Structure 1
Amino acid sequence: MQTLFDQKTHKDILIRIDQLKENSKPIWGQMDVAQMVKHCQMPLLMACGKIQLSDEVGFFKKMLLKLYKPIMYNDKPWPENVSTSKDYKITGHYDLNVEREQLKIIITEFHNKALNIYWPKHPFFGNFKTDEWGKMQYKHLDHHLRQFGV
């Protein structure tokens, strides 16, 4: 499984992000390309401790989500049209070039945390190890870049 902590994978993701165009259309889903790029920043910002998700998930749903936790970082791509947390839903108009540069900055900041041992607790899935964070963040970005054909 690829990880954002790998130098080549990090570089490849940045190249793929640069291939996005204003007129890029989604193969699935509702977001336009700028909204998707903004959306992709959110999990990275959370992992880097810069934002927090609301913790409005009940006990039973948390237990169910923990059963799905390994899917977040295993070798299989995420399915199309997988639902997202309300905290990560993006609406409104965004400038692709501005959001792309912000995404590349936060990806690189995350990539530079490869030796980090202190990660915030995910409010839905609990604790992740460093390698799990790297795989999960790669899978999320890959999912959305595939959504837009890059």
Structure 2
Amino acid sequence: MKSVFNPADVAELTDRINKLTTQTQPLWGKMAVAQMLAHCNVSYEMVYTDKHPKPNPFLKFILKTLVKSKVVGPVPYKHGNPTAPAFIIKDERDFELEKGRLIDHLKQTLELGEKHFDGKESHSFGKLPGGEWNTMFYKHLDHHLTQFGV
């Protein structure tokens, strides 16, 4: 799997993001392109901000038990998988703002590097090794860029 900690792979992701336009349509799903960018930003907001409340201990246990392996494992996401409420974007979003934020999040993640994330506490899954952080970040973003044909 490619890596959000590898400059060449981040450059490729950035190029894919830059191919999107306000008119880009999804190949599946209901989100508009700006909503998808905002949706992808949530993963990084959970790391870099306190915008999203952490799940209670019971819910965190359920997420670690039932969801974690699907999120941090190598198997690609299926189309139409359910998503956590924090990731559901129903309102309209500013395309350029969300695009810029996503590219900035990728740059920040690359600059911090895998060692920064190794053992870092995940919002929902507890402490993760750097490789699982990469899988979670890369797989999610790749899934949605593929959804929009880039």
Q: Give TM-score scaled by structure 1 length.
A: 0.86
* Percent of matched pairs sharing the same residue: 30
2: distance between equivalents of 1:29 and 1:5?
29
- For 1:77, the equivalent position in structure 2 comes to 76
Shift of 1:65: 2.6
Shift of 1:12: 0.7
- For 2:42, the equivalent position in structure 1 comes to 42
* Aligned-CA RMSD value: 2.0
Residue 27 of structure 2 contacts residue 149 of structure 2 at CA under 8 Å; is this kept in 1? yes
Shift of 1:52: 4.8
Identify, as 1 or 2, the structure richer in helix: 2
Shift of 1:74: 2.6
Shift of 1:82: 1.5
Letter matched to residue 75 of structure 2: K
Shift of 1:55: 3.3
Q: Bigger shift: 4-13 or 66-75?
A: 66-75
Name the SS for the 1:112 alignment partner: helix
Q: Bigger shift: 8-17 or 114-123?
A: 114-123
Letter matched to residue 86 of structure 1: P
For residues 11-53 of structure 1, the C-alpha deviation after alignment (integer angstroms, 9 at most, x for no partner) is: 11000000111111112222100011111111012123x1353
Identify unmatched segments of 5+ residues in structure 1. Answer: none
Q: Give TM-score scaled by structure 2 length.
A: 0.86
2: distance between equivalents of 1:18 and 1:117?
26
1: distance between equivalents of 2:122 and 2:15?
28
Identify unmatched segments of 5+ residues in structure 2. Answer: none
Letter matched to residue 102 of structure 1: R
- For 2:27, the equivalent position in structure 1 comes to 27
Shift of 1:87: 1.3
2:127 maps to 1:127: yes
Could you list the structure 1 runs, at least 4 aligned residues long, displaced by more than 6 angstroms after superposition.
Answer: none
What is the number of residues matched between the two proteins?
A: 148
